[in-house]
Amino acid sequence: MSSELDLAPWVKLEELIEAGEPAAVLAEIDVLGPRDSARAISRLSAEGRAQILTLLEPEKAADLLEELPDAQATDLVRHLAPEVAADILSEMSSDESADVLGELDEEQLEEILQEMDREAAEDARRLVSYPADVAGGLMITELLAFPERATTGEVIDDLRRHADEYAHYSIQYSYVVDQERKLLGVLPLRDLLMTPALTPIHSIMIKNPLFVCDTDSLESLTEFFDERDFLGVPVLDAERRLVGVLRRRDFREALGDKAQQDYLRSQGIVEEELRSMPLWLRSKRRLSWLSANILLNLCGATVIAFYQDTLAQVIALAVFLPIISDMSGCSGNQAVAVSMRELSLGLIKPLDLVHVWLKEASVGIINGLVLGILIAVVALAYEGNLFFGLVVGAALALNTLLAVSMGGIIPLAMRRLRVDPALASGPLLTTITDMCGFFLILSLASLFMPYLAGGE
């Protein structure tokens, strides 16, 4: 006999969903906590995942979605009818619902927006239109803005009347705007309480407040928050209208996500993938990157094909071709990683190409010599021919120098060209190092052929 305690949490959750017991589902999720709930939900059947949200009240469903990883939340919403999705998303905070909506395809996005009330839909549409890594894509639109003519008494009244609604607003400041919603000043809430009720707020607001623009990149936001101790900052659009508030914690979270995303992209996971997503989608996304990569690989192969006769004469070269390719890729990727790191710390800028190249070339010379000598000894021992060892060693040494130099500067060049360096650096680097590496070893071999073929 098996008791309920022995069941894996997803089995139990699945049963509760099938039985249609919202209260029990909620209780189970509560017991599991956010991380274990996420894990359990990812193991539900496709049917279970489709039903869990419809089973809950919109508010509870929204709470659950906010606690799950974005990609998983999107995956759950993808299965919902538009009107159900709209109800749930309306209960989420603006930035969280925008994160989910932004991942949906165009058609489903439109269907859901049409089911939302006009104002919420407009807000959502604006938020979704921003890239995920600029201020506009990270801000929340829940904020308190009052017209400049209001008095402190009116503001306090408004706060009291809407206390329930504003309870979710984790903001310590309110803002003063003109009729076109242009930002005039910041109003610390505590100052309101210490001023007579008839004081116009524009006389106590902090004028010319600092702000960021909705299109500011993560990099410039890093600079902003590094230099200031603010918990949040108003976000203005091109017309200087107040469109949102960027909280420090959301900014910090985005920084952390960026690092994870960089890692994923460098490994060929271009769009976030969870294993609970449909098989065809996972396959397709991975293949789109792989098939670009196989074409780049063929570039390297053509160099070998060109030298096939050389190879036929000294077949042992074929043993060392993959080593040259792989080791150069590794050396180059180390340099890529250091450049990515220094870019994110602000220690280098895209213009510092020469500085970086000099720093890398010196490492490249040393490491090229060491690795070249190492492989030369192995090659000499394998083939028993000094010149063979020299050809293989020289090729790896020179190609390491090249790989390290290219690896250092490619991310900077990508950044200047506004291509994502995390995504493009690796494939570009290995294509160049493969082609050059194969060319070096095979052309050196042809050059010294009399000494190689005669050595055995």
Cβ atoms of 155 and 185 closer than 8 Å: no
Q: Is position 405 an interface residue for a second copy (rule: CB under 8 A)?
A: no
Stretch in the footprint of a second copy (CB under 8 A) among 104-112, 120-128, 133-141, 355-363: 355-363
Q: Is position 342 an interface residue for a second copy (rule: CB under 8 A)?
A: yes
- Shortest Cβ 11–a second copy spacing (Å): 13
Stretch in the footprint of a second copy (CB under 8 A) among 128-136, 180-188, 204-212, 265-273: 265-273
Q: What angle, 0 to 180 degrees and rounded to 10, lies between the N-to-C axes of helices 82-90 and 58-67?
A: 70
- Here the tokens at position 425 are 């650096």
Quote the CA–CA distance of 426 and 282 in Å, as a whole number: 21
Q: Is position 46 an interface residue for a second copy (rule: CB under 8 A)?
A: no
Order across the sheet with 212-213: list the strands: 212-213, 232-236, 242-247
Stretch in the footprint of a second copy (CB under 8 A) among 54-62, 99-107, 145-153, 270-278: 270-278
378-397 residues in contact with a second copy (CB under 8 A) are 378, 382
From the list 198, 275, 381, 450, which residue makes contact with a second copy (rule: CB under 8 A)? 275
Q: Is position 227 an interface residue for a second copy (rule: CB under 8 A)?
A: yes
What Å distances lie between residue 190 and 197, 210, 353, CA to CA?
A: 13, 19, 50
Cβ atoms of 144 and 116 closer than 8 Å: no
Question: Nearest 5°: phi and psi at 172?
Answer: -95, -5
Q: Is position 456 an interface residue for a second copy (rule: CB under 8 A)?
A: no
Q: Is position 293 an interface residue for a second copy (rule: CB under 8 A)?
A: yes
Within a 10 A sphere around the Cβ of 160, how many other Cβ atoms? 9
End-to-end Cα, the chain, rounded Å: 74
Stretch in the footprint of a second copy (CB under 8 A) among 108-116, 137-145, 173-181, 338-346: 338-346
Q: Is position 222 an interface residue for a second copy (rule: CB under 8 A)?
A: yes
What Å distances lie between residue 370 and 167, 223, 396, CA to CA?
A: 64, 40, 10
From the list 223, 384, 416, 447, which residue makes contact with a second copy (rule: CB under 8 A)? 223
Q: Is position 195 an interface residue for a second copy (rule: CB under 8 A)?
A: no
- Shortest Cβ 454–a second copy spacing (Å): 17
Quote the CA–CA distance of 283 and 261 in Å, as a whole number: 19
From the list 130, 211, 438, 448, which residue makes contact with a second copy (rule: CB under 8 A)? 438
Q: Which is nearer to a second copy, 125 or 355 (CB)?
A: 355
Q: Is position 330 an interface residue for a second copy (rule: CB under 8 A)?
A: yes
From the list 27, 157, 168, 346, which residue makes contact with a second copy (rule: CB under 8 A)? 346
Cβ atoms of 241 and 180 closer than 8 Å: yes
Q: Is position 377 an interface residue for a second copy (rule: CB under 8 A)?
A: no
Quote the CA–CA distance of 402 and 407 in Å, as a whole number: 8
The residue among 307, 309, 304, 316 whose CA lies nearest residue 455 is 316
Q: Is position 343 an interface residue for a second copy (rule: CB under 8 A)?
A: no
From the list 82, 268, 350, 455, which residue makes contact with a second copy (rule: CB under 8 A)? 268
From the list 52, 184, 340, 445, which residue makes contact with a second copy (rule: CB under 8 A)? 340
93-112 residues in contact with a second copy (CB under 8 A) are none
Cβ atoms of 324 and 304 closer than 8 Å: no
Q: Is position 259 an interface residue for a second copy (rule: CB under 8 A)?
A: yes
3-state helix, strand, coil in the chain (%, to 5): 70, 10, 25
Q: Is position 226 an interface residue for a second copy (rule: CB under 8 A)?
A: yes
Quote the CA–CA distance of 100 and 102 in Å, as a whole number: 5
From the list 255, 353, 380, 453, which residue makes contact with a second copy (rule: CB under 8 A)? 255
Q: Is position 434 an interface residue for a second copy (rule: CB under 8 A)?
A: yes
What Å distances lie between residue 59 and 13, 66, 90, CA to CA?
A: 19, 11, 9
Q: Is position 338 an interface residue for a second copy (rule: CB under 8 A)?
A: yes
- Shortest Cβ 238–a second copy spacing (Å): 25
CA-based diameter of the chain, in Å?
Answer: 102
Question: CA angle, corner 162, sides to 159 and 165, nearest 5?
Answer: 120
From the list 171, 282, 350, 453, which residue makes contact with a second copy (rule: CB under 8 A)? 282
Q: Is position 53 an interface residue for a second copy (rule: CB under 8 A)?
A: no
Q: Is position 273 an interface residue for a second copy (rule: CB under 8 A)?
A: yes
